Amino acid sequence: MRYSGFKVIAEGLGGNKGWKPAWRDPDPKPEYDIIIIGGGGHGLSTAYYLAKNHGLTNIAVLEKGYLGGGNVGRNTTIVRANYFLPGNQEFYSHSLKLWEGLESELNYNVMHSQRGLINLFHSDGQRDAFARRGNAMINQGDDAELLDREGVRRLLPYLDFEQTRFPIYGGLLHRRGGSARHDAVAWGYARGADRRGVDLIQNCEVTGIDIQDGRVTGVQTTRGAIRAKKVGIIVAGRSGQVAAMAGMRLPVESHILQAFVTEGLKPVIDHVVSFGMGHFYISQSDKGGLVFGGDLDFYASYAARGNLPMVEHVMEAGMTLMPMIGKAKVLRSWGGIMDMTPDGSPIIDRTHIDGLFIDCGWNYGGFKAVPASGWCMAHLMATGESHEVARRFRLDRFVTGHLLDEEGTGSQHNLH
């Protein structure tokens, strides 16, 4: 056995010199059947399912930095299937089912913890909206329970129920919602893909996309040219830049989202709590840190760090909701670059260039989508057909008007 309690003790006594890397570090070959640009969660899961579900293994994943250095290792790890619109619903429902079998699938502990997600509401109108959402979730085959104020109080007695601005009326409980260890998901998929023969090539930035007569023929990289007849662009916040290499303009604007973690504390927050009105959500990691976040910084940015007004806003919202966290010390804050679309929903589609596919537009909800996105992108790249649970994630929906505006905030990238 590669990993065991005994091995941990033995290695600990022996200076930890016997551990082997979990995947190979190959040099790029001159040609592959398929190239995946981007070694984040989505790129890695796509490579994994191409190999696992479709038997395609002559694949390279090209990552400009290190695996898991992007958003997949920066998010607040909320995993849920509580969407409302047909199109999103079946996709996230499928994703949650994949999550539920992920650890045995990958034989890797991704610390997926279905501790329950509670979305709070603060008015009669919001209660109605959540009741409707809950019904939609149940119709989809997922779980939802509408809690009244006392129901929320039983689960989350530490909230300030009497705040004057947003008194708590109740919450929508999604018991199968929860969190996971973010980079473990990247590592699990990476190891699984590597074992099936996929080359994971780090420190390899794609700098150009080669196109001949409307067909993709390969890519240029900082480690030389690599040929392939099929290329998938799966680079999250960098989608606009990489698509521009193929002469495309995308319905995507890149924005920063910040997140925060406190020092480790004894278990105090047992669920994932989401306070939409204050743009605040929080959970406690297995190490004890309170992991929380808020809204985008709101302006287009490629800096993986944000500004102070949003830090202040998030802290204020947290203090409004649960004053008990006021004395916890924040250890770190960071940011990630989000690929925001004008309707807040993703794109998994072919492009106008033969053999070139794109998976992007995950806004700030793409962590929970990692399994299903890889599943559906692999299906699309292998068969040429959209998978049935991702068939509305079309690139042309912005021209045809078939938008999937889950939040109903209109065509402004930063409002989703």
Partner 1 sequence: MRITCPLCGTRDRREFYYYGDAVYADRPDAGAVPEAWNDYLHLRDNPAGETRDLWYHEMGCSSWIEVTRNTVTHAILGTRLVSERNSRRDKFVYQEGDLREIKPQATKPEPKGTEE
Taking residues 252 to 281 in sequence order and writing x for each that binds ligand FAD by CB under 6 A, - otherwise, the string is -----x-x----------------------
Structure-token pair, residue 59? 């694949």
* Residue 240 is a binding residue for ligand FAD (CB under 6 A): no
Residue 374 one-letter amino acid:
G
Structure-token pair, residue 367? 């962590």
By C-beta, is 256 or 322 nearer to partner 1?
Answer: 256
By C-beta, is 40 or 289 nearer to partner 1?
Answer: 40
**Gap between the Cα atoms of 312 and 327, Å rounded:** 15
Task: Count Cα neighbours of 273 within 13 Å in the Cβ-side half-sphere.
Answer: 26
Q: Which of ligand FAD, partner 1, none does residue 118 bind to, with CB < 5 to 8 Å depending on kind?
A: none
Task: Count Cα neighbours of 62 within 13 Å in the Cβ-side half-sphere.
Answer: 30
Taking CB under 6 A as the criterion, the residue among 34, 51, 59, 62 binding ligand FAD is 62
Q: Taking Cα atoms as reference points, which of 372, 292, 347 lies closest to residue 45?
A: 372
Taking CB under 6 A as the criterion, the residue among 28, 56, 60, 77 binding ligand FAD is 77
**Gap between the Cα atoms of 212 and 246, Å rounded:** 11
By C-beta, is 169 or 368 nearer to ligand FAD?
Answer: 368
* Residue 277 is a binding residue for partner 1 (CB under 8 A): no
* Residue 69 is a binding residue for ligand FAD (CB under 6 A): yes
Concatenated DSSP letters of 95-113: HHHHHHTHHHHHTS----B
Helical (H) or strand (E) element with 79: strand 78-79
**Gap between the Cα atoms of 323 and 159, Å rounded:** 8
Q: Which of ligand FAD, partner 1, none does residue 342 bind to, with CB < 5 to 8 Å depending on kind?
A: partner 1
Taking CB under 6 A as the criterion, the residue among 48, 52, 56, 63 binding ligand FAD is 63
Taking CB under 8 A as the criterion, the residue among 163, 217, 333, 414 binding partner 1 is 414
**Cβ(290)–Cβ(136) below 8 Å:** no
**3-class DSSP state for residue 217?**
strand
Pairing of the two strands 253-264 and 289-300: antiparallel
Taking CB under 8 A as the criterion, the residue among 298, 328, 391, 407 binding partner 1 is 298
**Cβ(186)–Cβ(67) below 8 Å:** yes
**Gap between the Cα atoms of 166 and 164, Å rounded:** 6
Taking residues 239 to 258 in sequence order and writing x for each that binds partner 1 by CB under 8 A, - otherwise, the string is -xx--x----xxxxxx----
By C-beta, is 72 or 173 nearer to ligand FAD?
Answer: 72
* Residue 71 is a binding residue for partner 1 (CB under 8 A): no
User: How many residues contact ligand FAD, by CB under 6 A?
Assistant: 39
* Residue 333 is a binding residue for partner 1 (CB under 8 A): no
Binding residues for ligand FAD restricted to 150-209, rule: CB under 6 A = 205-206
Residue position matching structure tokens 């399912």: 49
- What residue ranges bind ligand FAD (CB under 6 A)? 37-43, 62-65, 69-72, 74-78, 205-206, 234-238, 242, 257, 259, 293, 336, 338, 362, 364-368
Site residues (vs partner 1, CB under 8 A): 238, 240-241, 244, 249-254, 298-303, 307, 309, 341-342, 398-399, 401, 411-414
